[in-house]
């Protein structure tokens, strides 16, 4: 995968670690149950944000909705999700769409004008040809041809400049659309795929048949201690280093994703057997253990970073959920048995 640009996404709005996120969810879920709000990703995102308390207008809208509506209409929830959770992505997508429309309008106008000038030049040529049959001085014919030729040359030069400007606009538009696409698929902090994209890619892999498909799940050991001892910015650097390591270590048919918090996943395809998957996970474990990260303020070297791994090889009856569950169970065994190992 080509290394994407850094870009702020809706994911960047939620910098909490696992413990902080769990605490917010413990507030959000009872609120949802109290108001009989169905559990789905959109509703979770809204009420999680509500409990964070950093979007006063969203909180006001949610309070009004449950009090006045006596329920939680799906259309209203979807609108709030668009307006407060993914508004930046939508605004950039709309801006890109409008830029494309404006570009097409400009090109249509410029081409129409160029065609008009060419038609005028053709009419001028026809007029000059007719004048050749008349007893008139040749200089007047040449003068008219010269003027018409100059007009079309000027127009062609103008049109060429407009084409170059359009090319620049297209380049800018392409970059903007790529950023929107990346924002929807890539975790902004670690630059590996996000959880939604991971789920979709795993579905695609299993839909082609489970043969050779494997899932590796890993969790950075004692990550909360890094945050508590050194602060969240350094914890973010640890995540970034692990993300970069995963991107560099991927085989040709591998995909890395951040599953959430300090947990990552790797989808492998065309695996020969389970032993090759264990060997790959063990290589990752050793590489993570060799990471050396220093604090920027004191140049202090951090304690060794380690990770625990769970491996699952896809079976014929596996779904996305069952394969993730088996890999997660293996990861739990690795952590229970002392961490820094592959199960």
Residue 24: HSE in the Cβ half-sphere, 13 Å Cα cutoff? 19
Q: Which range among 116-130, 149-163, 321-335 shows the weakest confidence by mean pLDDT?
A: 116-130
Q: Which domains does the chain have, with CATH numbers?
A: 10-85 (no CATH), 88-185 (1.20.58), 195-336 (3.30.70.270)
Q: What is the pTM of this model?
A: 0.55
Torsions phi, psi for 231 (to 5 deg): 100, 160
pLDDT tens-digit map of 225-267: 888 888 888 889 999 999 999 999 999 889 999 998 899 999 9
Query: What span, in angstroms and rounded, lies between the C-alpha atoms of 183 and 227?
Result: 26
Query: What span, in angstroms and rounded, lies between the C-alpha atoms of 134 and 218?
Result: 91
Whether residue 8 is predicted with pLDDT greater than 50 in this model: the reply is no
Contacts 24+ apart (CB under 8 A), 282-287: 282/309, 282/342, 283/249, 284/216, 284/218, 284/245, 284/246, 284/249, 284/309, 285/218, 285/309, 285/340, 285/341, 285/342, 287/245, 287/249
Which tokens is 164 given? 């170059």
* 220, containing H or E segment: strand 214-220
Sheet holding 255-260, edge to edge: 255-260, 263-268, 214-220, 307-313
Average pLDDT over residues 15-24: 68
Give the model's pLDDT for residue 35. Answer: 80
Query: What span, in angstroms and rounded, lies between the C-alpha atoms of 161 and 183?
Result: 33
| Residue that is written with structure tokens 């001028």 in the block | 124
Question: Which one of 55, 89, 262, 263 is the catalytic residue?
Answer: 262
Higher pLDDT, 122 or 298: 298
Give the model's pLDDT for residue 5. Answer: 40
Decide if 262 is catalytic: yes
pLDDT tens-digit map of 34-77: 888 887 777 878 888 888 887 888 888 888 888 876 667 777 88
Whether residue 200 is predicted with pLDDT greater than 80 in this model: the reply is yes
């Amino acid at each position: 995968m080509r290394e994407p640009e850094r870009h702020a996404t809706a994911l960047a709005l939620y910098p909490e670690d696992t413990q902080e996120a769990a605490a917010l969810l413990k507030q959000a879920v009872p609120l949802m149950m109290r108001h009989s709000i169905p559990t789905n990703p959109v509703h979770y995102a809204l009420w999680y944000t509500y409990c964070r308390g950093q979007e006063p207008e969203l909180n006001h809208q949610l309070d009004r909705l449950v009090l006045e509506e006596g329920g939680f209409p799906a259309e209203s929830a979807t609108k709030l999700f668009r307006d407060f959770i993914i508004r930046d992505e939508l605004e950039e997508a709309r801006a890109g769409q409008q830029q494309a429309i404006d570009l097409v309008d400009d090109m249509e106008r410029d081409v129409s004008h160029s065609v008009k000038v060419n038609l005028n030049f053709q009419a001028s040529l026809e007029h000059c040809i007719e004048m050749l049959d008349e007893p008139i001085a040749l200089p007047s014919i040449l003068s008219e041809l010269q003027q018409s030729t100059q007009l079309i040359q000027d127009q062609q030069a103008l049109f060429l400049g407009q084409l170059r400007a359009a090319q620049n606009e297209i380049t800018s538009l392409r970059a903007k659309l790529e950023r929107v696409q990346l924002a929807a698929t890539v975790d902004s902090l670690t630059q590996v795929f996000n959880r939604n994209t991971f789920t979709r890619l795993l579905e695609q892999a299993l839909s082609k048949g489970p043969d050779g498909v494997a899932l590796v799940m890993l969790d950075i050991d004692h990550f909360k201690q890094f945050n508590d001892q050194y602060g969240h910015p350094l914890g973010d650097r640890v995540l970034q280093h692990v993300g970069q390591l995963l991107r560099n270590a991927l085989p040709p048919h591998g995909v890395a994703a951040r599953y959430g918090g300090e947990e990552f996943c790797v989808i492998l395809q065309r695996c020969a057997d389970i032993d090759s998957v264990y060997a790959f996970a063990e290589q990752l474990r050793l590489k993570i253990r060799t990471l050396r990260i220093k604090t920027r303020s004191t140049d202090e070297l951090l304690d060794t970073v380690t990770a625990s791994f769970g491996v699952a090889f896809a079976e014929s009856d596996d779904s996305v959920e069952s394969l993730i569950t088996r890999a997660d169970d293996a990861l739990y065994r690795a952590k229970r048995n002392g961490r820094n190992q592959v199960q």
